[in-house]
Structure 1
């Protein structure tokens, strides 16, 4: 296989390699009679990406340049790090590179990338070929009931409201709108920010929902394909069916190349999220009730109102106290206060302590007054301070 990529298309090829690097760690290259396929798969096998470069993408294309016995195309697998090393800065490659040549020989252990730059500079990269096996994802995109075509800017702006800690995003598609929200499977909802964005159907270029459904998929790969579409300034097509079936994102420019990004979906578990919301509400209510009980328990009766107000009013705690003339013993008989000492003491029946009936002023009343100043007390010192010795 031998092909030449013209300078303006080298940037697209480099952007493609960088986009696929955000999906998987290995890059599969396969040459067919009319195109070249680049594929990759993530480690969890939940995201698959395939980019097809048609024959007219190249200035020269010969899939069977080095003739083989069966006249079939060649395929190989290389490390994604090696591919990234070849296309370090795709942004400026179209200004520096005049031509990119890709060569693959049968029974060869190297894939050759040769960059012919300006001023006669030629950079040749010999990338080691890894053990390769056939890889092909099984999915459908033409017969699905739900198809959306939109500018990548709308979806990128919607994802800008999600946090970097969000791992998955949920699409809730109805006939009127498309709702995006972050998927939460953690019962501790106090530390998680819930995000929900609704986009009306009129905002999209094409919006066909034949079956209302909810699908959940990874957010990392979704951001990567949107960044790829933004770099190429191309719209995004979304094809999906229902929960458990993959979501297919398609980016193409007509006849030159076409990219498919297939993301596996998981069950949204609405019941779990509803239960989590209810538990959150119940927990918040319980916390409020507990804090209310603690606050009420921490209050003391004599602190319910201001202390100075209690002192100004007729308080029995600081004013005069009446001492009763007689009290009742444990058996209910009357006891004369004057003859209390003549009554034999019974350890089992100890009478209550008598209370004073005479009106006695509280000694420390002035200390509790709000306007009391100790420096205002004047008088002779009855007991001087003792010597330090």
Structure 2
């Protein structure tokens, strides 16, 4: 196999290699006299991309003997060859001497007269996957310009891993909903893994009017959704934007693959000398009826009996607003309740501390021969009146412990009459002097 290319074809070829490298690690090559195909598959086998070139795409393209050539090389090595600026390359030549050759030669003829040659080790028995998905059997599809899609995706976080596309039929939307959101039948929603800690993640929903943002939109029947990876989508978006072609999306429902292909004007791409296909696996779980977070508690199940706040209804029951998915409505309605519970908890804690302080003191009714002494923190009791020290200590030792009910004020109901006549006297904690 031998090929050479230059000019705009070389730029398109370099963009193809860059896009393939962002999807997989290995480049599988299939060459026949009528077509050259590049394939790649990511390590998790959830993304597959294929780019095909017709013979008239190249300046020179030959496959001797009419046999089909199959080989594979590492995309990292090919990207190293194309690290030289494309504008400084006059021509690129690729040569595979025979089907069993262990290395493939890549030669760069630069504009300044320099010639660079690279030999890349290849695998003569590659694992080439064939696509068996017919895009014509996928019922839902839309065409969008790369510039517009890039602008829409700019509303989402750059670190977003997956995105959900929800398609509804504009004709089935209720009149009030149509007036509220302007017939926006397509929704883009950021997908957050519910098994991870998502407190710091930004959740975004974007409703789109297909007549304003899309070149073409086709969907019939019930709403459907597909959730797929953002990394491969952005790679294919950059490729189509550089090639100045629109992107055609084909999909069916959650759990089924989504297919993307360039849209070459009004034709089906038969007049173009290259074509590309990106197939991504989608999440099995639908996001229409299963939210990523717990839903808010119903009004009748709430302790305070307050109803849920008024929220606007969106295209249908199949697409729920983010406040319903995350339970933010319940949090906002229960905010005052939480603050009230917190205040009551603080007040209860203060009362408990006050009870502990009271319980730590020896409090009794005053009498003619009994002095009241404080016993905080197990400190030694020191009596100001030194003359009654022995008598007071014997009386205190005869008393029950501070946890006994008799130590509480008004604990003895039989002494109520006597307590009314007697006056409580609480002596402050005397200073402690160490001898």
Structure 2 length-normalised TM: 0.65
Matches within 5 A, 1:216-235: 216-235=227-246
The answer on whether the counterparts of 1:252 and 1:259 sit within 8 Å (CA) in structure 2 is no
Structure-1 separation of matches of 2:122 and 2:346: 74
Structure-2 separation of matches of 1:266 and 1:297: 45
- Report the counterpart of residue 135 of structure 2 in structure 1: 141
Structure-2 separation of matches of 1:200 and 1:349: 79
- Report the counterpart of residue 296 of structure 2 in structure 1: 278
Q: Deviations over 1:185-222 (max 9, x none)?
A: 31655433221111111121111113441111111111
**CA shift at 1:296, angstroms?**
2.7
- Report the counterpart of residue 265 of structure 1 in structure 2: 282
Query: For the structure 1 residues 190 and 288, does the alpha-carbon distance in structure 2 shift closer, same or farther, using more than 3 Å as the test?
Result: farther
Structure-1 separation of matches of 2:239 and 2:275: 12
Query: For the structure 1 residues 4 and 297, does the alpha-carbon distance in structure 2 shift closer, same or farther, using more than 3 Å as the test?
Result: closer
The answer on whether the counterparts of 2:194 and 2:293 sit within 8 Å (CA) in structure 1 is no
Please tell me whether Structure 1 or Structure 2 has the larger radius of gyration of its CA atoms.
1
Q: Secondary structure at the match of 2:127?
A: coil
Query: For the structure 1 residues 289 and 190, does the alpha-carbon distance in structure 2 shift closer, same or farther, using more than 3 Å as the test?
Result: farther
Matches within 5 A, 1:1-389: 1-64=1-64, 67=65, 71-89=66-84, 92-93=85-86, 95-106=87-98, 107-130=100-123, 131-176=125-170, 177-186=185-194, 190-202=199-211, 203-211=213-221, 212-251=223-262, 253=264, 254=269, 255-270=272-287, 271-273=289-291, 276-278=294-296, 280-281=326-327, 282=330, 289-299=337-347, 351-352=415-416, 354-355=419-420
The answer on whether the counterparts of 1:214 and 1:268 sit within 8 Å (CA) in structure 2 is no
Aligned residues: 309
Structure-2 separation of matches of 1:110 and 1:252: 36
Gaps of 5+ in 2: 171-184, 298-325, 351-405, 407-411, 424-435
Query: For the structure 1 residues 349 and 120, does the alpha-carbon distance in structure 2 shift closer, same or farther, using more than 3 Å as the test?
Result: closer
Structure-2 separation of matches of 1:111 and 1:210: 49
The answer on whether the counterparts of 2:248 and 2:263 sit within 8 Å (CA) in structure 1 is no
Structure-2 separation of matches of 1:277 and 1:11: 50
Structure-2 separation of matches of 1:356 and 1:155: 89
The answer on whether the counterparts of 1:7 and 1:100 sit within 8 Å (CA) in structure 2 is no
Structure 1 stretches of at least 4 aligned residues deviating more than 6 Å after TM superposition: none
Q: Secondary structure at the match of 1:272?
A: coil
For the aligned residue pairs, the C-alpha RMSD in angstroms reads: 3.0
**CA shift at 1:355, angstroms?**
4.7
Structure-2 separation of matches of 1:239 and 1:213: 12
Q: Secondary structure at the match of 1:273?
A: coil
Query: For the structure 1 residues 63 and 252, does the alpha-carbon distance in structure 2 shift closer, same or farther, using more than 3 Å as the test?
Result: farther
Between structures 1 and 2, the one with greater strand share: 1
**CA shift at 1:357, angstroms?**
10
**CA shift at 1:252, angstroms?**
5.5
Structure-1 separation of matches of 2:31 and 2:186: 39
The answer on whether the counterparts of 1:237 and 1:249 sit within 8 Å (CA) in structure 2 is yes
The answer on whether the counterparts of 1:112 and 1:126 sit within 8 Å (CA) in structure 2 is yes
Gaps of 5+ in 1: 303-346, 359-389
Structure-2 separation of matches of 1:167 and 1:222: 10
Structure-2 separation of matches of 1:129 and 1:252: 33
- Report the counterpart of residue 341 of structure 1 in structure 2: none
